[in-house]
A and B are shown apart, each in its own frame.
Chain A
Amino acid sequence: MHGNETHAGSPYAPHTDEDRAAMLEAVDAETVEELFDIPGAVRFDDEFGIDARTERETRRLVRSILGRNDDLTELLGRGHYGYYVPSLVDHLADRSEFLTSYTQYQPEVSQGFLQALFEYQSLLVELTGLEIANCSMYDAATALGEAATLADRVRDATGYRVLVPEADLLREERRSTLENYVAGTDLEVESYPTADGNVDLAALEDAVDEEVVMIYAENPTVRGTIEEHLAAIGDLADANDALFTLGSDPVALSLLERPADVGADVVVGDASVLGLPTSYGMGLGLFATREDYLRQVPGRLVGASEDATDRRAFTLTLQTREQHIRRERATSNICTNQAWVALRTAIHAAALGPTGMVELANRGVRRAETLAERVDDIVGVKAPVHDRHHLREFVARVDQPARAIADDLERRGFAVHVVGEHEIQLCVAGVPDERLDAFAEALEGVVR
């Protein structure tokens, strides 16, 4: 009689009553309770009050709760995108050896995962032009935090200033996460001004001095504009012996200026734009940097080596940087990371191939432009607000209060960003053409 036919125990513990009896005898105990060495004073003899359910009931429960979510067409982006993920990704990544294995501390029985992560690292090396990529951080915000602590470690001298764009070009969540990551250091986060959806280069030049350890900018920006001053920012960072950290993502990197060509020292961002659906913000922190900083890189690195038969084999390497060996002197506290998401991203990128990736980015330019023209034709709407090139998304000005317009659109089945009292932001990534058409009609109806 197995426990999984009743609610009497864990359905995933395979012990028969006979087994249990034999095992207790072997350990010289009458009951399992005897094996717990917990003083009476801290024993828990109450109940949690959580009812057990069958698998079917549990599925029904979760489905019914999640069913309370409205099914909306999301024109949402701002650093997190819902591209279509090919079926291939689910089916391959869900193979249970990928899904249920542990970190590759025994490389001889983890070759497959190590190679997949090595290929993921190589993808980032090509996209960024930088020599080193780790095999994941949690997300874009935490990768930014790790970049700042890296800058703190590699830059000798007394610098303490970390410069980031002001609020209109930096998600508050990213800034807040960064602030937490540098809370234990002497670093201070400061804003520099922006101008028309780009870095205000002159103002940044004024802000920089030799106390700056890192300058951060994003391409594309959170407002969808393509940054036009990257090389100048890179030069400015160089001239002041500061690191230039660039925030981006694999789709943008397929088309936009290569970070290595504009003097970026670190590239961070959310790589899960490929491989994951929107997932309420679950991500994959990409982290790439120059070879000079190899010993200071946070997180896991997969390297090639040879086995005893001289065949090529892969292994986690340079682990002396990591917490399980270096403890309080580690380059980061990260242990469990986002390996399986990195696998998904690598499969998605491979499914697209270089042509598909460049095309996907190109479509993001063209379709955003098309939608902007379309909504700009609507009386009471001006788009795009910024006189810049855009990727995937843009800000539109609306005469009526933006919040009311967004609420009305939601009632018609569309979700948009409200980014100002009279500003909404629209993203085309993952939204089929016919839904964009329907959206434009809905917007017309709403502002009428």
Chain B
Amino acid sequence: MTDDSGRDSMEDDDAQVRYDQARYVEDGQYEPLLSEKDLTRVDIGDGGDGIAPDDAESVDSPLPDDLTRDSLELPELSEPELARHYTRLSQMIYGIDSGPYPLGSCTMKYNPKFTEDVAALPPASVHPDRSERSVQGTLEVMYRLQDYLGRIGGMDAVTLQPPAGAAGEFVGIRVAAAYHEHNGEGHRDEVIIPESAHGTNFASAALGGYDVVSLPSDEDGRVDLEALESALSENTAALMLTNPNTLGLFERDIDEIAEMVHDVGGLLYYDGANLNALLGRARPGDMGFDVMHYNVHKTFATPHGGGGPGAGPVGVVDELAPFLPAPRVREGDQRTKSGEPTYELFEPEHTIGKVHGFHGNWLVLVKAFAYIARLGDEGLADASAKAVLNANYLASRLEYDVPYEPFHHEFVASAGDQDAADVAKRMLDYGVHPPTTKWPEIVPEALMTEPTEVESKDTLDRLAAAFNAVAAEDSETLANAPERTTARRIDQTSAARNPRLSWQALEEDES
């Protein structure tokens, strides 16, 4: 099998792209779809149409025909064939174990292997409808994790139910709404969000039925206090803040901001996406935040899994605790025969109800608990220290300009005359994952970079070399990148203009 994709131009470069191994390309595709390997139609009952083609199998059902479907057509493959298919697919993915992953705002830190083992323990998997008495271990892990997160964030009460960060934001918004409603202030219909915030903040506030008031940054890249003053009113339900913000800057006026928000009767919400910068050094609860979410798949190293599952527990101050989702876990009055505490589920007095069918992404929570228990105070504080050191060191090695400082665990460089998206594609050719691009928009051609604490000085040097090599390249090279990856530049326009979202649609498209 030869391949004419012009990948000779970097032959001499010693950057080895690991996920480029085992390339086997046939018929214009990198790996056939399961459906291209086999499709078998199984006719159910008497086969519906009565005509069974040669490749159809027939299965009788104990149900009457009018309650069943006629047939099911899916790939029928052997275990060895599947093992090879998915192994091949995995070779076409860049993961944390492939190399550095400096995606700003995403905190792509190494995922310790042992946490997979604890989540795979048989007693970690019980049915959610089990009696409380029979799942004391599960409830104890939940109780202890609630306690850990409360201490780390400086919060009085924690719910583990939200299955992701955005779900946590939504819970925060719903809790704020319930609180205001309870106090006879249901007229508050605005949530204030800085322009540089994560898109989820806006979407979560809107899902909760709020009008979003967008807040510009001042010239230092922080909250503009004058703008905040004019945005605040008796209609303010909450201000959502990320601290350090998406530029990596700490909102130095946080005391004053909290006071301003509280003075008009609003609540202060903390987006936990950047908590990795603050572990053991500052706590949202001490800064005057009333409610926050934690991204355990960022700060507490649970694997991202290609986009989930994560978990987004929410912490609140005492005053908001009665509104948290149900159920939460608390210690029971009883002790066991051997004197150990028992645990029980309970409904907070004015609960907003449920935001997930059961208890959220439980297996992810187990991994987060194990990570925190492993690191302890010193480990967590050290993680933040090294994350901030790494970001500062990496930025110091870059040719690209970093307009806003002093940043903490992440920084936003500007690609200047280059197109940031093209810079990212070209970085792939150097065997590293690029940063987040084109956002926040306050920096032109933004390269939002977060190395996390897990990269060594050598890796950061290699990463800086990749950045700097790309910084020196011409726009044509960038526009043609990547050329050493599994796939070359992918046509986004065609994908959106002619949506083919299943093998059935591809089949139709080709016929």
Contact = CB atoms under 8 A, between A and B. Distances in A.
Nearest to A226: B67
A37 B250 contact: yes
A382 interface: no
A125 interface: yes
Contacts of B137: 65-69
A66 B50 CA distance: 54
Contact of A410 (B134, B136, B396): B134
B91 interface: yes
Given A340-B309, A353-B77, A254 B72 contact: yes
B305 to A, nearest CB: 3
A173 B88 CA distance: 40
A102 B306 contact: yes
Given A103-B304, A111-B487, A96 B96 contact: yes
Contacts of B131: 406, 410, 415
Interface residues of B, number: 202
B118 A306 contact: no
Contacts of B111: 99-100
A181 interface: yes
Contacts, number: 663
Nearest to A350: B82
A14 to B, nearest CB: 4
B389 to A, nearest CB: 5
Interface string B88-110: 11111111111001010010111
A372 to B, nearest CB: 13
Contacts of A100: 95-97, 110-111, 303-305
B94 A110 contact: yes
Interface string A36-80: 111101111001111111110011011101111111101010111
A149 interface: yes
A87 to B, nearest CB: 9
A183 B208 contact: yes
A420 interface: no
B167 interface: yes
Nearest to A138: B163
Nearest to A366: B62
* Most chain A CB neighbours (cut-off 10 Å) among B425, B439, B457: B457
A333 B255 contact: no
Nearest to B142: A280
A312 B389 contact: no
B207 A14 contact: no
A106 B427 CA distance: 11
Interface stretch (B148-156, B314-322, B412-420, B470-478): B148-156
Contacts of A326: 199, 203
B366 A62 contact: yes
* Most chain A CB neighbours (cut-off 10 Å) among B85, B86, B480, B491: B86
B76 interface: yes
A66 B135 CA distance: 8
A302 B495 CA distance: 9
Given A108-B428, A118-B503, A311 B30 contact: yes
B283 A323 contact: no
Interface in A316-331: 317-318, 320, 322-330
B511 to A, nearest CB: 15
Given A19-B457, A336-B295, 18 more contacts: A11-B379, A50-B376, A78-B129, A80-B129, A96-B96, A99-B95, A102-B103, A102-B307, A108-B488, A111-B89, A138-B167, A139-B358, A180-B354, A281-B358, A323-B202, A326-B199, A329-B206, A369-B62
12 contacts: A10-B383, A50-B148, A88-B79, A88-B83, A97-B97, A108-B485, A303-B495, A313-B487, A336-B165, A339-B309, A340-B307, A354-B72
